[in-house]
């Protein structure tokens, strides 16, 4: 068989179907009998930590996303094995929502990857894990703690409440090379759609999960190219609203402190709402990737569906659809049953 571009596209599509979102048996209330206080312990730790750090909701939400979005390495031979033996396929070497970003295993640790730059919240997960180990030793996985903490973080920011299917087990691999293909602020909309498709997520889910930028901040480092190097001659991205441009350049002056933080949602940085979608339409997107959502016909239709005049009566519910998207994201390549392990501490393999 000659391996052509058409074959590659077919392989990618089939891999997306087979591996994008695991069919493993997660369920709401997985710990109801083995550790009934599990979710309340995580919630108490998250709520307590948020008292001293108002940015914690965005931090924990980002941690969940980065834990799930790691690379799937799939050679052609492996692809054939997946297709032929899918139900018997051991996904130990397929990374996803398995707590791999939490591990400290030296210089190769996944958390050291450039794509994970600025990801925080590890100590919150570790605190919750310590309390869970005291209450229910060896029962609750670190990967489930990450997913539950993100849910509680969204609630703290006045976002939608939802139930998290649990039962994940922790991965035994953590390597920075697996995070080399994370979504990047300079990615085109086509690249972003492809990266999400590889995880079994569609264009609508790309918009919804990008809308999580409604809370939190980003560093000026990620704005430099968009403000000062986007077009020849040092011109900025023309999609930035002219009213917004001087605000951004004042916050992030050329050759200024690249670590200065800028809210990603100009109007409601600590409230989880759909304001960021209106910002994107009006040219007030802070990140280039968010702005790109309105340059593509497919994703533009999704954005418009949530902010149109008739949306409150006839349109889809942003909150409900976001919940579906993040729950689906939380199932990417999970390990259950005999796969993986339940770590005693989240920063180290057993």
**Residues annotated in the binding site for Ca(2+), as ranges?**
67, 70, 96, 98, 100, 110, 214, 265, 273
27-28 and 165-166 as β-strands: parallel, antiparallel, unpaired? Answer: antiparallel
The residues annotated with a catalytic role in the active site are 66
* CA distances to 178, 219, 221, 228 from 118, in Å: 17, 9, 11, 22
Grouping H, G, I as helix, E, B as strand and the rest as coil, residue 27 is strand
Task: List binding-site positions for substrate.
Answer: 183
Beta carbons of 276 and 213 less than 8 angstroms apart: yes
Q: How far apart are CA 76 and CA 292, in angstroms?
A: 32
Q: How far apart are CA 89 and CA 182, in angstroms?
A: 25
* Pair of tokens at residue 117: 């730059």
Helix axes 5-19, 76-85, angle to 10 degrees: 50
Q: How far apart are CA 303 and CA 208, in angstroms?
A: 9
Beta carbons of 267 and 279 less than 8 angstroms apart: yes
Task: List binding-site positions for heme b.
Answer: 213
CA proximity to 79, closest of 21, 24, 19, 22:
19
Q: How far apart are CA 288 and CA 222, in angstroms?
A: 9
Please name the residue that has the structure tokens 């590889």: 198
- The strand pairing partners of 218, in sequence order, are 262
Which sign, positive or negative, has the C-alpha torsion 311, 271, 159, 148?
A: positive
Cβ neighbours around 25 below 10 Å, total = 11
Task: List binding-site positions.
Answer: 67, 70, 96, 98, 100, 110, 183, 213-214, 265, 273
């Amino acid at each position: 068989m000659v391996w052509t571009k058409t074959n590659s596209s077919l392989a990618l599509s089939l891999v997306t179907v087979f591996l994008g979102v695991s069919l493993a048996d997660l369920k709401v209330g997985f710990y109801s009998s083995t550790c009934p206080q599990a979710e309340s312990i995580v919630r108490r730790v998250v709520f307590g930590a948020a008292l001293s750090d108002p940015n914690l909701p965005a931090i924990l939400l980002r941690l969940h996303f980065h834990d799930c979005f790691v690379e799937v390495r799939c050679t052609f031979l492996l692809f054939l094995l997946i297709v032929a033996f899918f139900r018997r396929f051991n996904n130990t070497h397929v990374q996803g929502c398995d707590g791999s970003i939490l591990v400290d295993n030296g210089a190769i640790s996944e958390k050291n990857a450039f794509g994970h730059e600025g990801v925080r919240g590890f100590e919150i997960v570790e605190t919750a894990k310590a309390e869970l180990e005291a209450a229910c030793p060896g029962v609750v996985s670190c990967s489930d703690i990450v997913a539950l903490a993100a849910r509680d973080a969204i609630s703290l920011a006045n976002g939608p409440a939802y139930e998290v299917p649990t039962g994940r087990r922790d991965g035994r691999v953590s390597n920075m090379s697996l995070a080399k293909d994370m979504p990047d602020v300079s990615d085109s909309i086509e690249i972003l759609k492809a990266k999400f498709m590889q995880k079994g997520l569609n264009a609508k889910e790309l918009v919804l999960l990008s809308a999580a930028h409604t809370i939190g901040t980003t560093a000026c480092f990620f704005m430099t190219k968009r403000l000062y190097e986007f077009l020849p001659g040092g011109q900025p991205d023309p999609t930035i609203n002219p009213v917004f441009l001087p605000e951004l350049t004042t916050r992030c002056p050329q050759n200024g402190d690249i670590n200065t933080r800028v809210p990603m949602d100009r109007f409601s940085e600590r409230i989880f709402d759909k304001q960021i979608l209106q910002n994107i339409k009006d040219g007030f997107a802070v990140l280039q990737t968010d702005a790109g959502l309105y340059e593509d016909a497919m994703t533009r239709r999704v954005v418009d569906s949530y902010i149109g005049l008739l949306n409150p009566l006839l349109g889809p519910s942003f909150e409900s659809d976001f919940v579906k998207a993040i729950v689906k994201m939380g199932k990417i390549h999970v390990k259950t049953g005999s796969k993986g392990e339940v770590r005693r501490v989240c920063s180290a393999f057993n």
